[in-house]
Amino acid sequence: MRSDGPSSNDDMRSGDSRQRKRGGAFLAVNRISLRIGGEAGYGIMQAGLMFSKCCSRIGLHVFDYTEYPSLIRGGHNTYQVRAEEGPVNSHLRTVDVLIALDEPTLTLHADELKDDSLIIYDEKAIHPEHSRLKRGIRCPMPLKELVAEVGGPEIMQNTLALAAALGIVDYPFAVFEGIIRDSFGEKKQEVADQNVAVARKGYDYAKERYGHHSHYRLTPVADAPKRMVITGNEALALGAVKGGLKFYAAYPMTPSSSILHTLAAWQERHGIVVKQGEDEIGVVNMAMGAGYAGVRSMCATSGGGFALMNETYAMAGIAEIPIVICEVQRPGPASGMPTWTDQGDLQYVLHAGHGEFPRIVLAPGDVEECFWLAVEALNTAEQFQTPVIIISDKYLAESHRTMDPPDVSKVRIERGRIVREEPQHYLRYENTADGISPRTLPGVPAGFHLCNSYEHDEFGWTTEEAALRNRQVEKRARKLESYRKEQLQPALVGPEQAAVTIVSWGSTKGPVRDAMAWLAKDGYAAEHLHLTHLSPFPSATVTKLLEGKRTLLVENNSLGQLGILIRAETGIVLQERLLRYDGRPIEPEQVYDKVRAMLGGSR
């Protein structure tokens, strides 16, 4: 099986048609990477998201990525935005524009600058000579003074500095003003007016002084469609809502917390009950109780919180109760690095919960997959009457990317084998051929049965009799065989006769796809096997796709946990590996360089 390869023809390495000549220098049009950095409390996230919206509003594709320490205030925060006319799926190692709202930003990100990178900073508060700056075009400005001139508070330096960057790249100010008013629309009108005045000041000041230095331009794309700017967590929440979610419970735990925030803001509009529990044990039990009552339910957490959910997860397995659990990874073990990214929980999630019961694990790799796998997870949980896990990570969960609005007409809500009328001789755990028993909801006459955490007979009576135990274990196991008949199978993406097959899962999809586009332009043929359905594992298909191939495993963990799974399920050993486990995401440049090194420069 194979699908078309990347369609993007934008290449940060070798250039493209969106470069225009001006005065002997190349002018990059609608292709930019910007980073803004400073302490928490400086409005870094607000300014970064506004820049993402600026780029999307004029028709560009956007990907952004945030880094911040696990502190309430202080510490170094950054927001990086990459925008191009063609699809972008990850951030870049280098930046074209660096906005430094404090001095450490210059030192920490000096190595990301190029000779023509623009550096915007407050000339009165920041001293570049104290940093490691060796490259870049300096654009000093009296940020604090300019804000004061229009009567704005000091916090508005973020708006002024962002406006300065937009002025230098000749972005249409009217569009930026609209985004400001949208962003502050829920606050007082005077706040929006003040931000617009501050932005105008910074925009004009920087454009007049530094516009001629810039090799970069942002200009509206004709007839570009409107796109959403959305994070993985928001897309997952949206998919869950469209998939019929009616109850959500969570205890805040980075990086899953924004699912709770998003659904809490939407609950009245969509008729959802959203509950913040006292801890993860309470949360998963509430969600399981709702699932038992026939309500589509979901909860979310990260690795440490999921550890507390394990006993209930196993109970849902034996009691055959539908529930969706989202495990959004961060580096462990224990509290680990709460605000950074990692893929170290895969083997844990695959084997979580004691005893043997059907484990279905789905792993989205981009915002579109977050949406559709949320719908699929809710359907699967009810159709097969079993818990389903969606495993994600911080890089996917909190990064924004442009997405075409999903075609919600394709969403189908499948509730499975629910008995709504009075049954005769009802057996909740009937030993059926496909392992799926009829399920009644509370209140259905004659639908009563026993449901608890013990092994049981077909009615639900607790049993320790050997034959009955075997029958129920085998019945539950047949669910997976039934599920396999419907399971989406993986496919190769890329050119025929590729020299290297890149194998990955989750958020590494984006960096891999961007690297593949660069490799194709430079004459290197690489294909990609991206896996989304990890349990039950599609062993036969993966064996067929990988046999005899030269492979590269790409993961954000130290053990190569997907590689361990593939070896256990297929016997295939993925020898070449690109692993990163410092809390930072895989970079597309790393994938590109690794494939080039594997091929020894040959094409």
10-residue mean pLDDT series, the chain (603 residues): 42 44 66 96 94 98 96 88 97 97 94 95 88 90 97 95 98 97 80 95 97 91 96 98 98 98 97 97 98 97 98 98 98 97 98 97 98 98 98 98 97 95 93 97 91 97 97 98 96 96 98 97 96 98 97 98 98 97 98 95 62
Q: How far apart, in whole angstroms, are the C-alpha atoms of residue 218 and residue 54?
A: 10
Distance in angstroms (rounded) separating the CA atoms of residues 418 and 296: 13
* Joined tokens for residue 68: 């911040």
pLDDT for res 26: 57
Q: Is 238 exposed, middle or buried (0-12, 13-18, 19+ CB in 10 A)?
A: buried
pLDDT at position 8 is 37
Q: So what's the pLDDT on residue 15?
A: 39
State whether residue 35 is helix, strand or coil. Answer: strand
Tell me the whole-structure pTM to 2 decimals. 0.94
pLDDT value of position 12: 39
Pairwise CA distance, residues 269 & 248, whole Å: 14
Give backbone dihedrals phi and psi of 428, rounded to 5 degrees, phi first.
-60, -35
The first and second tokens of residue 442, run together, are: 């509370």
In CATH, which of 3.30.70.20, 3.40.50.970, 2.70.98.10, 3.30.70.270 is domain 229-410?
Answer: 3.40.50.970
Please tell me the predicted confidence (pLDDT) of residue 220.
Answer: 97
Instruction: Tell me yes or no: is domain 2-217 CATH 3.30.230.70.
Output: no
Q: Assess whether the previous peptide bond of 255 is cis (omega < 30° from 0).
A: yes
Answer whether 215's CB lies under 8 Å from 116's CB: yes
Could you state, in order of their start, the residue ranges of all structural domains in the chain? 2-217, 229-410, 492-598
Do residues 530 and 515 lie in contact, with contact meaning Cβ atoms separated by under 8 Å? Answer: no
What is the DSSP-derived secondary structure letter of residue 338? Answer: T
Tokens of 66: 């945030």
Strand partners, 387: 323
Q: In what order do the strands lie in the sheet with 387-393?
A: 273-276, 247-250, 297-301, 323-329, 387-393, 360-362, 533-535
pLDDT of residue 71: 83
The whole-angstrom distance between residue 526's C-alpha and the CA centroid of its chain comes to: 24
Q: How far apart are CA 286 and CA 49, in angstroms?
A: 34
Note whether 229-410 and 492-598 share their fold: yes
Q: Measure the CA–CA gap between 328 and 395, rounded to whole angstroms.
A: 10
Q: In the sheet that 492-493 helps form, which strands lie side by side, from edge to edge?
A: 2-3, 492-493, 526-531, 500-505, 551-555, 576-579
Answer for the pair 165, 118: CB distance below 8 angstroms, yes or no: yes
Measured CA to CA, the distance from residue 202 to residue 433 in angstroms comes to 70
**How much is the pLDDT for 4?**
43
- Given this model, what pLDDT does residue 27 score? 77
Q: What is the pLDDT of residue 109?
A: 95
CATH of domain 492-598: 3.40.50.920
The pairing of beta strand 533-535 with beta strand 492-493? unpaired
Q: Helical H runs in 169-218?
A: 173-183, 189-210
